[in-house]
A and B are shown apart, each in its own frame.
Chain A
Amino acid sequence: MKVLVAVKRVVDYNVKVRVKADNSGVDLANVKMSMNPFCEIAVEEAVRLKEKGVATEIVVVSIGPTTAQEQLRTALALGADRAILVESAEDLTSLAVAKLLKAVVDKEQPQLVILGKQAIDSDNNQTGQMLAALSGYGQGTFASKVEVSGDSVAVTREIDGGAQTVALKLPAIVTTDLRLNEPRYASLPNIMKAKKKPLEVLTPDALGVSTASTNKTLKVEAPAARSAGIKVKSVAELVEKLKNEAKVI
């Protein structure tokens, strides 16, 4: 079966971002960019499905600027067979991305689409669910285990009180949680080979999708800073402060 994996280029998770002085957004100039960590897990899961003989082809797709080709090449080096970039310089909302992915799904007809549960920049946690709604497929969100058998997939999901398993008819949408797997690193020979794998570039216009948004970001501010605390010398002093100064116990 064909598996489609969506990946996003985001600021590297180790970078401490800074808000721009004019409050228009965060400063991403000269900041290290990487594949979103949840997307790495999605790619890894697809590659494992291929290694198990469940998946026959892995198509990786990204929606974003020309530079997102770097993340697609990374996915190809990890084991994806070919890549699609839907090029858009704008900052797209999750709904717009879901609509573009729906157009790619219509074109590619995958049996399984794997996405990360959320991107660490916008922290939206929406795209997979929206794609599932638009395509009319079942959704297995926050997956910690994925098992394909016949024409269905059993997805164990991380929920607030523990874990839940649902069975979905294929084709279906899965979004990955952290515990699904441990992504591998790309080896140098595979990075070289990935440069020769096919990468198709499309545009929203070519896919016939409007990316207009009903949301507008008015401003972006730094969060209120906590005032500096004090260091106590002993447990007794700590308890005394908590009881008499902070009055929380």
Chain B
Amino acid sequence: MTILVIAEHDNKALAPATLNTVAAAAKIGGDVHVLVAGQGASAVAEAAAKIAGVAKVLSADNAAYAHQLPENVAPLVAELGKSYSHILAAATSNGKNILPRVAAALDVDQISEIISVESADTFKRPIYAGNAIATVQSNAAIKVITVRATGFDPVAAEGGSAAVEAVGAAHDAGISSFVNEELAKSDRPELTAAKIVVSGGRGMQNGDNFKHLYALADKLGAAVGASRAAVDAGFVPNDMQVGQTGKIVAPQLYIAVGISGAIQHLAGMKDSKVIVAINKDEEAPIFQVADYGLVADLFEAIPELEKLV
């Protein structure tokens, strides 16, 4: 049994979600190979070779893979994947974009966003916005799976010494091209990898008020998230959204401020170790999942909290 893990990266650095995906691969058992498809991504391949437990790194360096266009990357993964028992990718926007295309090319069903490995062919995954957990068995010759990063503790980024092997195959379908990218700039930790997350909801009233959360987050070394209500109201950009349709986080501490706790939001954060809710409505559903609840006006509580931590 050999497992192919698709590395998540931006051609410069390996994304942490790759380490969680390798951890899932290690639970399945067998040799783990990592594919780095990109352009000028040799630093990523070297980083992948150092991951504990990785036996081999395949480096496909080609202009066609520069922006991870699925039309070009999926045929490569499908071709290489034929000699593997499992193909895994992190359930990031890239992984979700590419892997189903690979599964269809290989004519197998995919299993999305697994949160645990029961055996080499059986996995658990949340359905209905996390309101039910399904145990799914696959009898496909090649099991194609995306991995929810928060379900697996990352393996060590150092300690391995895998060989890097260049892959010559170049697939350019010629039906898609990259135009541009606008990335939100932030000095704070990445939302899905942060140990502490402070999130604001509709109760923040406007985008300007998020400065109170930023101040608190900076003091805690936390990332700042938001509910869909806050994003839809235009308070903050949408890549801050935590929930079923946004990011899934499971930090040590999640502080929900002015968030009522709709099921779509809970689906994105209810696996956090400790949940704190600050809301002036004591009937808000968020208090049903919060370990510590404080019924208070957030505009008084947040500055005070910032002072005390």
**Which positions in A face B, CB cutoff 8 Å?**
11, 13, 16-17, 19, 26, 93-95, 98, 117-118, 120-134, 136-139, 141-142, 144, 154, 157-169, 172, 177-179, 213-223, 226, 228-236, 238-239, 241-242, 246, 248-249
Contacts and interface: CB of A to CB of B under 8 A. Distances in A.
Given A138-B176, A249-B309, A162 B127 contact: no
Nearest to B293: A231
6 contacts: A123-B127, A129-B96, A142-B97, A166-B69, A167-B179, A217-B135
A131 B136 CA distance: 22
B29 interface: no
B44 interface: no
Nearest to A129: B100
Report, nearest first, the 6 A-B pairs whose CB atoms are least far apart. Answer: A129-B100, A133-B104, A130-B104, A214-B140, A126-B100, A229-B291
A221 to B, nearest CB: 5
Contacts of A125: 96, 100, 112
B274 interface: yes
Nearest to B184: A162
Interface of B: 67, 69-71, 74, 92-94, 96-105, 107-113, 122, 126-140, 173-184, 192, 196, 220, 228, 232, 237-239, 244-245, 247, 252-253, 263-264, 270, 273-276, 282, 287-296, 301, 304-305, 308-309
Contact of A160 (B100, B228, B239, B282): B239
A175 B54 CA distance: 34
Nearest to A229: B291
Contact of B70 (A129, A235, A236): A129
B305 A239 contact: yes
B18 to A, nearest CB: 13
B148 to A, nearest CB: 11
Given A159-B93, A217-B135, A235-B304, A126 B292 contact: no
A160 B184 CA distance: 10
A126 B135 contact: no
A242 B292 contact: yes
Given A159-B93, A166-B177, A221 B132 contact: yes
A138 B196 CA distance: 38
B10 to A, nearest CB: 8
B305 A238 contact: yes
B272 to A, nearest CB: 10
Contacts of B104: 95, 98, 129-131, 133-134
Contact of B237 (A19, A162, A236, A246): A162
A11 B97 CA distance: 25
Contacts of A179: 232, 238
Nearest to B138: A215
B94 A130 contact: no
Contacts of A159: 93-94, 181, 239
Contacts of B289: 226, 229
